[in-house]
């Protein structure tokens, strides 16, 4: 490998790695807040918080890595222009075509990682997350109930309080359950309780020796008080949809076989991130062109706005495909192909227009 390629590759890779690490730290804070909120609402088992955090991070990599790659290239190329290294390289005949090799040495591996995350690893992470939650729901101790603490039911329609619990989480004591639905409230108390399962996802809380009060939520006197020896209550499901029916968790082979529009839209959504990353990386090279005294952060803001527009159009296009607003033959190619064409044109014409204007001005 020539020394110039090694030098440029080292500059590009170090800056890109720093940008990706910073973006991952920022994204990790938002993901952690979402997972923590799901744990507090009882949708995610408390003992699986770290595992869920890692799986959710894998799902967000196809959105974070393209931005990190573009910002890293902008910062690296901007430093070369700021330190007057690029004018020296241009003076000895090092143009965009010659720099394509060190650029692709970094861009292609990152695009390959984005493709793996978008096509295979991200859906696998979603399926694994759902399966872990379903398996964890078979134990109330793991599913979020703790003795001496009020726990919100999945869906936010009530709370459960448990005064005592056995080691395996199945036997309960001093149970209080509050639920509300369709304008009525339901308060149930019991001395003891036990957890049972029917099928794969249905959980029943069997309460023994207690009272139940049911009545209107707003106004009225239509209350009923019942004393019971045994009362089986169905617990809300943590997942409303099975993993195999959700296009976001389906394998790539299953998406090809699924005739639904949602599955075809999801397939286009998975193909888009690596192509967007390639286009943004190529655009970053001409976009970073500047004079040694010119500030480079304005170009970063411009690149960030281009990334926001591209990703938002990708998400909107996926929704339009799923709802039938766009024909399925159009896919997301109306966004990807023009963006790639503009990126290639800007890269291979980098500096030519400016030199042409300069020659015209001298005449």
Q: Which tokens sit at 189?
A: 């108390």
* Count of Cβ atoms closer than 10 Å to residue 101 Cβ: 14
SS3 342: helix
Cβ 53 vs Cβ 108: under 8 Å = no
Distance from chain centroid for Cα 206: 38
Q: Which tokens sit at 208?
A: 């023994």
User: 193, exposed or middle or buried, with CB in 10 Å at 0-12, 13-18, 19+?
Assistant: buried
Q: Which long-range contacts (CB under 8 A, 24 or more apart) does 189-195 make?
A: 190/231, 193/162, 194/170, 195/139, 195/140, 195/169, 195/170
Instruction: Report strand pairing: 158-165 vs 184-198.
Output: unpaired
User: 140, exposed or middle or buried, with CB in 10 Å at 0-12, 13-18, 19+?
Assistant: buried
∠ Cα 341 346 347 (to 5°): 100
- Is pTM beyond 0.85? Reply is no
| Distances from the Cα of 27 to the Cα of 21, 127, 139, angstroms | 10, 21, 31
Instruction: Output the CA torsion sign for 166, 169, 170, 176.
Output: positive
Lateral strand order in the sheet of 224-235: 150-152, 158-165, 171-181, 184-198, 202-216, 224-235
How far is the first Cα of the chain from the last one, in angstroms, to the nearest whole number? 42
Residue 295 backbone class (left: φ over 0; alpha: ψ -120 to 50; beta: rest): beta
Cβ 222 vs Cβ 184: under 8 Å = no
Which pLDDT score is estimated for 363?
37
Cβ 307 vs Cβ 93: under 8 Å = no
Q: 190 φ, ψ to 5°?
A: -155, 150
Quote the CA–CA distance of 107 and 42 in Å, as a whole number.
41
**R_g of the chain computed on alpha carbons:** 28
Cβ 187 vs Cβ 161: under 8 Å = no
Would you list the domain boundaries of the chain?
3-136+243-357, 150-235
* Count of Cβ atoms closer than 10 Å to residue 212 Cβ: 18
Quote the CA–CA distance of 313 and 305 in Å, as a whole number.
12
Quote the CA–CA distance of 58 and 61 in Å, as a whole number.
5
- Regions in the chain scoring below 50 on pLDDT: 141-142, 238-242, 353-363
Residues with Cβ within 8 Å of 267's Cβ and at least 6 positions away in sequence, in order, are 252, 255, 256
Cβ 335 vs Cβ 314: under 8 Å = yes
């Amino acid at each position: 490998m020539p020394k110039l390629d090694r030098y440029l590759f080292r500059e590009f890779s170090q800056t890109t790695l720093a940008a990706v690490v910073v973006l991952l730290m920022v994204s990790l804070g938002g993901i952690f807040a979402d997972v923590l909120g799901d744990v507090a609402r009882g949708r995610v088992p408390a003992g699986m918080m770290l595992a869920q955090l890692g799986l959710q991070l894998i799902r967000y990599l196809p959105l974070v890595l393209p931005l990190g790659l573009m910002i890293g290239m902008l910062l690296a190329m901007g430093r070369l222009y700021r330190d007057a290294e690029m004018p020296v390289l241009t003076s000895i005949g090092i143009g965009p075509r010659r720099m394509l090799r060190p650029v692709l040495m970094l861009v292609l591996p990152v695009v390959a990682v984005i493709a793996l995350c978008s096509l295979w690893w991200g859906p696998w992470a979603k399926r694994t997350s759902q399966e872990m939650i379903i398996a964890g729901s078979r134990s109330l101790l793991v599913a979020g109930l703790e003795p001496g603490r009020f726990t919100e039911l999945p869906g936010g329609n009530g709370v459960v309080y448990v005064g005592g619990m056995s080691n395996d989480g199945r036997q309960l004591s001093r149970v209080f359950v509050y639920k509300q639905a369709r304008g009525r409230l339901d308060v149930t108390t019991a001395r003891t309780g036990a957890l049972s399962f029917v099928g794969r996802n249905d959980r029943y809380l069997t309460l023994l020796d207690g009272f139940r009060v049911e009545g209107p939520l707003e106004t009225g006197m239509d209350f009923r008080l019942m004393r019971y020896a045994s009362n089986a209550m169905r617990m809300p499901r943590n997942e409303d949809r099975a993993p195999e029916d959700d296009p976001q968790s389906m394998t790539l082979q299953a998406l090809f076989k699924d005739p639904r529009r949602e599955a075809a839209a999801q397939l286009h959504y998975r193909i888009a991130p690596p192509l967007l990353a390639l286009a943004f990386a190529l655009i970053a090279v001409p976009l970073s062109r500047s004079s040694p005294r010119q500030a480079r952060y304005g170009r970063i803001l411009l690149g960030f706005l281009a990334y926001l527009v591209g990703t938002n159009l990708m998400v909107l296009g996926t929704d339009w495909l799923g709802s039938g607003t766009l024909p399925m033959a159009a896919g997301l190619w109306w966004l990807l192909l023009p963006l790639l064409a503009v990126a290639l044109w800007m890269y291979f014409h980098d500096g030519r227009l400016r030199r042409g204007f300069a020659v015209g001005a001298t005449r």
